[in-house]
């Protein structure tokens, strides 16, 4: 197992794990409950950590975590008309999936 991410922010740690799991990379979050021990333990030892289960996935995991955020124009849901950001592939309101445009 290899550590690929660490943060004091538990939300960021789990978001990173979700990104990796969506790419088919098996992960584990460790040390997520140690924030309450900060002060008794050094802060660097209290960070939540994301580890990949298979060492050979580590390089790909680092690549996934360093991708630039999705950008582009907002899109309109073809089912309910809700306007959504480019980073979303599914409508939050009606659960319809984004239909790719031409090109």
How many domains are there within the chain? 2
Instruction: Tell whether 60 and 74 lie within a shared domain.
Output: no
Find the helix packing angle between 58-65 and 10-22, rounded to 10°: 120
Give the per-residue pLDDT at 12. 95
Tokens of 76: 């309109």
Residue-range definition of the domain harbouring residue 13:
2-65
Instruction: Tell whether 58 and 75 lie within a shared domain.
Output: no
Q: What does pTM read for this prediction?
A: 0.71
Calculate mean pLDDT across residues 35-47.
88
Calculate mean pLDDT across residues 70-99.
93
């Amino acid at each position: 197992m290899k550590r690929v991410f660490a943060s004091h922010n538990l939300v960021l740690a789990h978001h990173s794990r979700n990104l990796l799991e969506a790419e088919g990379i098996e992960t584990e979050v460790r040390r997520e409950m140690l924030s309450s021990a900060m002060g008794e333990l050094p802060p660097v030892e209290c960070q939540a950590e994301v580890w990949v289960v298979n060492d050979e996935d580590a390089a790909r995991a680092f690549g996934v975590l360093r991708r630039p955020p999705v950008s582009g124009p907002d899109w309109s849901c073809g089912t309910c008309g809700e306007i959504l950001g480019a980073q979303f592939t599914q409508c939050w309101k009606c659960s319809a999936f984004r239909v790719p445009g031409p090109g």
